[in-house]
């Protein structure tokens, strides 16, 4: 049962440990170090440094976002691999716990190492104080006083909500840094520089929630064929940004969602008319145009659809019928409305228990344990079968 597996991994899991061996699951978890390049080594990183420096310079002073470790789930007796899955997580995640069973199942069923890579300023790339209930609860009350009609404001989403309300640019800056980091990770693996992987390792992706947007931007911008042979499984992910609703007690409050959506769907194109680094990035780079194409399906449709057609048989996914954050019909629309991929490539499922985008497999629902197990098995057997 996934609840038992989760409990076992949670007992052993300590971020920062060099190596964790879990014999009862035939599992090993290795924490690999990563340094997010603060010295611009490519054009995208140069633009990132310039934009962040002019917009939110204080973000450059957060050391946790620069030097961090990421967990790799692998078979107990394996030392080096030639196949990997990069698991991309959701927005405002602060702990890896939800992904324990996901990574374990994918590693066990595919025989591949599963890399859990943190998005910029998420998980162990964020400040410790952002996860402090006492400190955040005090600030929640201040925020509710400042915005009397605010909804879904909690200590869990306070840090992200404050940061995006102040500077919605942080959303794409964090995404850009994450993509630059992923390019570097992929290069290190394929060039044989990564101690856990053989040269020319095959790399696929499991993309959940906002991780799907990161994967899509990378696919659309892939002019050099860096990920042209990769396969992508999308779970509760894949709609245009403007079709998402991030208001959630676990993601962001209503004020932050309203501010962020308005900025990208209304203000961004106006900002684009001004000459400068902002204009240069969104007009002049493949990643900039790719990001704009995923804000609204009306923008750069030919660019986006051509990319998805190129990956046609390398895309599969499962959407949740009751998903309020990334609606199933919007996922299907983004991928299939213009014949980019077969309509059956994205399956829509509905579970016979209370679930949500944020908690698709509630482990604490003892009354529906069997149903949750069956739902989990259906989703992840589909993913493992496609990514194996």
**What does DSSP assign to residue 125?**
G
Model confidence at 40: pLDDT above 60: no
Mean pLDDT rounded to a whole number for the chain: 94
**What does DSSP assign to residue 264?**
I
| Residue 360 and residue 236 in contact, taking contact as beta carbons nearer than 8 Å | yes
Query: Which pLDDT value is given to residue 330?
Result: 98
Read off the pLDDT band of 386 (50, 70, 90).
very high
Q: What's the rounded mean pLDDT across residues 89-118?
A: 98
How is 284-337 classified by DSSP, letter by letter? HSHHHHHHHHTT-TTSSHHHHHHHHHHTGGGEEEEEETT-SSS-HHHHHHHHHT
Tell me which H or E stretch contains 202: strand 197-208
Residue corresponding to tokens 């983004």: 334
Distance CA 381, CA 386 (A): 8
| Residue 139 and residue 163 in contact, taking contact as beta carbons nearer than 8 Å | no
Residues 6+ apart with CB under 8 A from 134: none
Model confidence at 328: pLDDT above 80: yes
3-state secondary structure of 1: coil
Distance CA 353, CA 367 (A): 10
Model confidence at 224: pLDDT above 60: yes
| Residue 354 and residue 364 in contact, taking contact as beta carbons nearer than 8 Å | no
Distance CA 251, CA 72 (A): 25
φ, ψ (nearest 5 deg) of residue 192 = 85, 10
Query: Which pLDDT value is given to residue 294?
Result: 98
Read off the pLDDT band of 39 (50, 70, 90).
low
Q: Is 268 left (phi over 0), alpha (psi -120 to 50) or beta?
A: alpha
Distance CA 96, CA 17 (A): 14
pLDDT in tens, 361-377: 998 767 678 999 999 99
| Residue 9 and residue 101 in contact, taking contact as beta carbons nearer than 8 Å | yes
Distance CA 315, CA 335 (A): 9
Q: What's the rounded mean pLDDT across residues 260-283?
A: 89
pLDDT in tens, 246-266: 999 999 999 999 999 999 999
Residue 369, exposed/middle/buried by CB under 10 A (0-12, 13-18, 19+)?
middle
How is 173-191 classified by DSSP, letter by letter? HHHHHHHHHHHHHHHHHHT
Read off the pLDDT band of 47 (50, 70, 90).
confident
Residue corresponding to tokens 């906002």: 210
Distance CA 138, CA 133 (A): 9
* Residues spanned by the domain of 18: 2-387
pLDDT in tens, 148-185: 999 999 999 999 999 999 999 999 999 999 999 999 99
Query: Which pLDDT value is given to residue 141?
Result: 94
Question: How many domains, the chain?
Answer: 1
Q: CATH number of the domain that 164 lies in?
A: 3.40.50.1820
CB atoms within 10 A of CB 90: 24
């Amino acid at each position: 049962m996934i609840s038992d597996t989760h409990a076992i991994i949670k007992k052993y899991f300590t971020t920062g440990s060099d190596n964790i061996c879990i014999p009862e699951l035939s599992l090993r978890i290795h924490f690999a170090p990563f340094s997010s390049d603060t010295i611009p080594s490519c054009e995208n990183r140069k633009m990132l440094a310039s934009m962040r420096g002019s917009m939110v310079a204080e973000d450059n002073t957060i050391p946790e976002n620069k030097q961090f470790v990421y967990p790799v789930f692998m078979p107990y007796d394996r030392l080096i691999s030639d196949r990997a899955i990069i698991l991309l997580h959701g927005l405002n995640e602060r702990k890896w716990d939800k992904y324990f069973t996901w990574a374990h199942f994918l590693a066990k069923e595919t025989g591949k190492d599963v890399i859990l890579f943190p998005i910029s300023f998420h998980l162990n790339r964020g400040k410790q104080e952002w996860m402090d209930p006492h400190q955040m609860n005090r600030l929640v009350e201040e925020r509710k006083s400042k915005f009397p009609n605010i909804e879904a404001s909690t200590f869990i989403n306070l840090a992200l909500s404050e940061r995006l309300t102040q500077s919605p640019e942080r959303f794409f800056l964090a995404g850009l840094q994450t993509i630059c980091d992923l390019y570097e990770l992929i290069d290190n693996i394929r060039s044989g520089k990564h101690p856990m992987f053989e040269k020319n390792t095959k790399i696929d992706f499991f993309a959940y929630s906002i991780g799907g947007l990161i994967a899509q931007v990378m696919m659309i911008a892939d002019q050099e064929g860096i990920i042209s042979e990769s396969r992508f499984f999308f779970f509760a992910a894949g709609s245009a940004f403007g079709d998402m609703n991030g208001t959630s007690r676990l993601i962001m409050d209503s004020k932050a969602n309203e501010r962020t959506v308005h900025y990208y769907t209304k203000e961004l194109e106006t900002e684009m008319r001004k000459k400068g680094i902002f204009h240069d990035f969104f007009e002049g780079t493949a990643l900039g145009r790719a990001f704009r194409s995923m804000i609204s399906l009306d923008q750069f449709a030919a660019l986006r659809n051509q990319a998805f057609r190129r990956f046609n048989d390398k895309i599969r996914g499962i959407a949740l019928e009751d998903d309020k954050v990334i609606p199933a019909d919007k996922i299907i629309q983004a991928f299939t409305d213009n014949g980019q991929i077969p309509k059956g490539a994205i399956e829509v499922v509905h579970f016979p228990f209370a679930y949500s985008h944020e908690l698709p497999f509630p482990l604490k629902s003892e009354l529906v344990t069997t149903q949750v197990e069956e739902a989990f098995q259906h989703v992840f057997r589909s993913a493992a079968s496609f990514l194996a």
